[in-house]
Structure 1
């Protein structure tokens, strides 16, 4: 064999070895990709696909969920058609809404009301009538905008799912989901996720409202309870109509309170999740703590974090009084005297324009940098703050302050 032939054989052998290595690598990658396609993301890990800032969604469907047509679900699909991150069951979306006339934009947060789906999100919004005695108040501004103006095909600006109120993944501990009124929305999300991913978990679902006209998701909840023996459904009407049938439409007359829980829950440890209007939260959450539920097993979300005091809290967390608060950009230095519920209220009372949205620590619109001093909160805000920043809507000064606002 000549030297040229030998060199040719060696070259062929090297090429075969190289092509075999490349083929092996490609096969390993395709196998790993195929395995990953069927895997579910960890339910409480931050999804890699979560976006920053605003993303456009199109309303693909509207559907009323209660006989009175006061609670409407909006199905949202991303305009860019990219997959959606798997949010944590119980979290919310933040919306930027352009009011009629184009003169004003408001920011509001609404809980997701279904388990994560790769193609769409769903929020369910209850119409809130504006107060007749104080028409200048903004209660109901966004909910009426959704009900009256947001139609199928419309585009909405949405921030990625957020919030610290979500179900614990420990399926060994029975979960007690307690909802009052429209507080049912995050509970539906938790319930539907648990039934799919934790079918062995015992679930107790308590849902309170005035009567059958306000009973949202009634057919769906009854069907789920019939299909899942480990789901125990308890519906309470506080003021049932003549047509409401006890034992069929509802199981308990009155409110969802700790006495009802004492009568109907089995002994043992439970994880409690509570969401409802202020009157419910102000009585039920402290009562659960007094009953002996450990704070680590008590999770709740009020309609605005400031509407309920943390169980076990005391006056030691009260904000400082008689301190100076300087708003650097506005060029104002003012004396905080403790009469305002938050720094946002304080700023607005003195005519300082500050951007705001949800006014409950969720959307982050009023976030501003703290140049000097410190701010404290009665509750940890749902919005994840940047280092060195604060939320004016739920914050109060713990010392003299210099704010960038």
Structure 2
């Protein structure tokens, strides 16, 4: 355990970290990629360029410092980080690289504020957190490998089918080359694809599994993020999948991971509310398909917001499910008016997923809420749900970025 002195020193750095956190993390990533380029493939360079990873890490560092005397409060964050690390195949030997570059970055960015006592305290704090994460990740690796059909590292798959779901989303059906059965994943989880890059290295991307478990294949449904040039990371993998990957092509896949999933230990009699923005429908469709199969009497509501009908994935099959299951309701929100003056049905509205839409739709009973989508959608939904007094334990979401953004949205 950490000493009282270490805890006191780390907590005393919270104000300076809040003021200089993003400058520190930007410097940290730049330094680490320069001194240890071997770790670069573990990081999404599109998120690096957009500043998302720097923001997320700054938020995580501040949260750790502020709660270092109450680490139970960080349990969900530790689980999220551990699952992400396992998905990317992070191993214990990589932790010293991060620790060394982080401590050196603290020295270089904070200058005189980075006293020997501060550096020593943060060294101990990082070492303690590393032990916690390494221990949890070892458990997850073991659980995955011991699952029937599970495996370690990356496994070779082939593209068995490629189907267009909308103008910008295509589904890829992936079957293992060895023909062995696949493990049972939790609806809402993701897999990791490892693909070669133009410079001869590799890069990795997480994609939600977009169908229920128990199939002979994994399905991912990928939005095409248009690449912005040969040297830009944005959209590289999705462009490669959409334009260059065909049936029978092979790809390396890591086993399913993720802490965002339909929780089997929660009361199945509670209504289930699924709120999706754009391609955020992919994990929620997996949850929907599984819930309809395993809890056929459960009240389920799906609200899906998209720009227009041409960009909406899974609409035909969702309509079929609504006809088949009287306990399932769906509602679509389109940003744009219907084209050519067409009339939309009663379960379709023009506009955002806002209070005016949700008020008549949300169940009166204590429900479980799962939501996923772009950052503006997430902050809006989080604000609306917390304003209704829905407790945090009933809110389940996957959000890339500092949790503080959601808290700010709650207060707005």
- Is the TM value for this pair above 0.5? yes
2:162 is matched with 62
**RMSD value over aligned CA atoms?**
2.3
Helix, strand or coil: the match of 2:256?
Answer: strand
Number of residue-to-residue matches in the alignment: 264
Is contact 1:99-1:145 (8 Å) kept?
no
Q: State the 1:171 CA deviation.
A: 1.2
Q: State the 1:205 CA deviation.
A: 0.3
By relative contact order (CA 8 Å, sep 6+), the higher-ranking structure is 2
Does residue 263 in structure 1 map to residue 360 in structure 2? yes
CA distance in 2, matches of 1:150, 1:190: 27
Q: State the 1:287 CA deviation.
A: 2.4
Q: State the 1:284 CA deviation.
A: 1.5
Q: State the 1:244 CA deviation.
A: 7.1
CA distance in 2, matches of 1:114, 1:249: 27
CA 1:63/1:308 → structure 2, altered by over 3 Å: closer, same or farther? farther
Q: State the 1:266 CA deviation.
A: 2.9
* Bigger radius of gyration: 1
Q: Which has the higher strand share?
A: 1
CA 1:258/1:60 → structure 2, altered by over 3 Å: closer, same or farther? same
Write out per-residue CA displacement over residues 18-43 of structure 1, whole angstroms, 9 at most, x where no aligned residue.
xxxxxxxxxxxxxxxxxxxxxxxxxx
CA 1:256/1:244 → structure 2, altered by over 3 Å: closer, same or farther? farther
2:248 is matched with 153
5+ residue gaps, structure 2, are: 1-142
1:309 is matched with 405
Report matched runs for 1:199-214 at 5 Å.
199-214=296-311
Q: State the 1:50 CA deviation.
A: 2.0
Is contact 1:275-1:281 (8 Å) kept?
yes
Q: State the 1:283 CA deviation.
A: 1.7
1:49 is matched with 149
CA 1:229/1:111 → structure 2, altered by over 3 Å: closer, same or farther? same
Report matched runs for 1:66-85 at 5 Å.
66=166, 68=167, 70-85=168-183
CA distance in 2, matches of 1:185, 1:307: 22
* TM score, norm. by length of structure 2: 0.60
Write out per-residue CA displacement over residues 313-362 of structure 1, whole angstroms, 9 at most, x where no aligned residue.
99xxxxxxxxxxxxxxxxxxxxxxxxxxxxxxxxxxxxxxxxxxxxxxxx
Is contact 2:338-2:344 (8 Å) kept?
no
* TM score, norm. by length of structure 1: 0.61
CA 1:85/1:294 → structure 2, altered by over 3 Å: closer, same or farther? same
Q: Which has the higher helix share?
A: 2
Write out per-residue CA displacement over residues 52-111 of structure 1, whole angstroms, 9 at most, x where no aligned residue.
100111100000001x2x1000000001111101100000000100135x6231111000
Residue number among 284, 291, 314 corresponding to 1:217 in the alignment: 314
Is contact 1:181-1:276 (8 Å) kept?
yes
